[in-house]
Amino acid sequence: MMREPLHSKEACTGSVNAVKDALYALNGKWKLPLIVTLSGSPKRFKDIQRELENITPKILSKELKELELNGFVERKVFKTTPVTVTYELTPYSSSLDKIIIELMEWGIQHRKHIISMRKNEKNQTSEVLKTLEMLDGEEVNVPV
């Protein structure tokens, strides 16, 4: 593929849409946690609800449908009584691995970067990281 699409404006105009497509498939509060949960083993609706605490059936249903539409999850119905439904990741879902790894590694280094920026410049940059509450040990959590 092309090697310098980022800082050449022409090539990017179209690429932004591809990036949007990608982010669109992963957006929402529960997509990633849901994939993580299912990565262990196929699970039933109620089991997922128990594992992802605080997710309501409506939201879980919606997220599962979206993941299914995107081809990440397969829904299987067993005609027991009462009916049993399981959700499991498809092989295609592992196409996300690279992307998630990149996001993860970048997220880790970005956190360090932000922390060192704060130390050096004594900026009160609150709200820069999503999961500030987990910064304990670095004491970044100085309140405003």
Partner DNA sequence: CTGTATCCACGACGATACTG
Partner DNA sequence: CAGTATCGTCGTGGATACAG
- Under the rule (CB under 8 A), what is the footprint of a second copy? 1, 5-9, 12-26, 32-33, 36-37, 39-40, 69-71, 89, 92, 94-111, 113-114, 117, 125, 127-131, 134, 140-141, 143
Give the Cα separation of 44 and 91 in Å (integer).
19
Closer to a second copy by CB, 57 or 92: give it: 92
* Distance (Å) of CA 30 to CA 3, 33, 61: 33, 5, 11
Instruction: Give the binding range for DNA (CB under 7 A) out of 4-12, 82-90, 105-113, 129-137.
Output: 82-90
Q: How far is CA 139 from the centre of its chain?
A: 26
The yes or no reply on residue 45 touching DNA (CB under 7 A) is: yes
Quote the least distance from Cβ 54 to a second copy, whole Å.
15
84 SS3 class = strand
The answer to whether the beta carbons of residues 77 and 84 sit under 8 Å apart is: yes
The yes or no reply on residue 54 touching DNA (CB under 7 A) is: yes
The yes or no reply on residue 51 touching DNA (CB under 7 A) is: no
Closer to a second copy by CB, 2 or 82: give it: 2
54 contact, one of DNA, a second copy, none, CB 5-8 Å limit per kind: DNA
Instruction: Give the binding range for DNA (CB under 7 A) out of 8-16, 79-87, 97-105, 128-136.
Output: 79-87
Q: Which of 31, 11, 9 is nearest to 22 (CA)?
A: 31
88 SS3 class = strand
Order of strands across the sheet that contains 84-89: 43-44, 84-89, 73-78
Out of 8, 15, 17, 84, name the contact with DNA by CB under 7 A. Answer: 84
